[in-house]
Amino acid sequence: MPRTELSASSVLGRFGAAAILSALIAGCVGSGGAVGTVHDGPSAMPASPAPATPAGPPSTGFYLMAWQTQALAPQETFGWLPVATIADGQYIDGRVAIPMIYPGPIYIDPSARSINAAGIAAIVAEARADGLLGDMTDFSAGSAPGSVLGHIMITVDGVTHDLTGPLPSDASTTGAPGTVAAFMAFWNRVGSIDSWLATDLGPSQTYSPASIAVLVVPPTDSGAGITASEVAWPLASKFAAFGQPFGGSVYRCATVTGPDLAKLLPVVQSSNALTRFVDSTGAKMSLHVRVLVPGETGPCA
């Protein structure tokens, strides 16, 4: 099956892949949810229209998360994966190769690699050299209204720095420490960890999430000539009472973990954008599904 890598050269720069991925899946695919081990905690990231803060590092060691926000309806950004996360010695790459088929999958697998102490030290050294571990954290002044912004949360020596700035237009951006250009240069570095720190990374493997965010939406129109498949909803919850309302809309959203995740994950992995899930009442809905990484509680509002 042909696949394409949404690369750093796409229209939104080094992390443009995540935005394009969202655009491709927002209208017809997304996240799934459940009860039992469904959690309705507050939104963490990415969120719209204003940037939101992730839940925070899951450990006391080094932590990094980079993500994008834009002033769009929350359901439009629901599928935006963090483009890079480092927690507990693991690098999770959210730049995803998407199967070029229709209907496409509703579940997108990030990849994961171990990262050693030398690699983490290199990231810290680069952040310091770019003047990003001081008092200056907001580099977004002058950004066009509604533009995509980059966010980097980095924890070094027990201190967390929440950085915000515009995305670079190319990979060659450089600038004096503590400037917008320095933020963009660091963004580029973080967006190319797999090549920048190749010798400090272990083999790539599929990331196994501890939780996923699920958005339940009205059934997607299959279009002329295409028959939508139907799959039994594997959880005890009924769609009408699933999770909580999402972003002031009629959609419902929840975070799924534990035994419910074990039931739901293989089902959504084998489903596509036109799959209709049928609960015990006969109600039929479509799903949007997004992996959650360490340090975020998810986009359910």
Residue 121 lies inside a defined structural domain of this protein: yes
Write out pLDDT tens, residues 214-255: 999 999 887 767 888 999 999 999 999 999 999 878 899 999
Give the 3-state secondary structure of residue 211. strand
Residue 138's pLDDT is 96
Indicate the number of domains in the chain. Answer: 1
Span 52-103, pLDDT tens digits: 345 555 556 899 999 999 988 888 888 899 999 999 999 999 987 777 788 8
CA dist 251 and 120 (Å) reads: 40
Q: What is the pLDDT of residue 90?
A: 97
Averaged pLDDT for residues 16-33: 34
pTM of the predicted model as reported, rounded to 2 decimal places? 0.80
Instruction: Provide the phi-psi class of 279: left if phi over 0, else alpha when psi is between -120 and 50, else beta.
Output: beta
Write out the residue range of the structural domain in which residue 10 sits: 3-28+53-200
Please indicate, yes or no, if residue 235 is contained in any of the structural domains: no
pLDDT exceeds 70 at position 13: no
Q: Confirm whether 290 is domain-assigned.
A: no
Reported confidence tier of residue 8, pLDDT bands at 50, 70, 90 = very low
Residue 103: is the preceding peptide bond cis (ω within 30°)? yes
Q: What confidence score (pLDDT) does residue 21 get?
A: 34
Residue with tokens 């272990």: 202
By CB atoms closer than 10 A (0-12, 13-18, 19+), residue 144 is exposed
State the pairing for strand pair 276-278/230-232. parallel
Asked, for residue 84, whether it belongs to a domain, the answer is yes
Whether omega before 209 lies within 30 degrees of 0, making that bond cis, reads no
Q: What pLDDT score was predicted for residue 222?
A: 74
CATH number at residue 71: 3.30.1560
140 and 148 Cβ atoms separated by less than 8 Å? no
**Cβ contact 233:283 at 8 Å:** no
Backbone angles phi, psi at 246, to 5 degrees: -115, 120
Residue 215 domain-assigned?
no
Report angle CA 100, 23, 225 to the nearest 5 degrees. 55
Unique residue bearing structure tokens 């088929």: 101
pLDDT surpasses 90 at 159: yes
On the question of a cis peptide bond just before residue 46, with omega within 30 degrees of 0, the verdict is: yes
Query: Is there a domain that residue 240 lies in?
Result: no
Considering the chain, what is the average pLDDT of its residues? 82
Residue 74 placed within a domain:
yes
76 within a domain of the structure (yes/no): yes
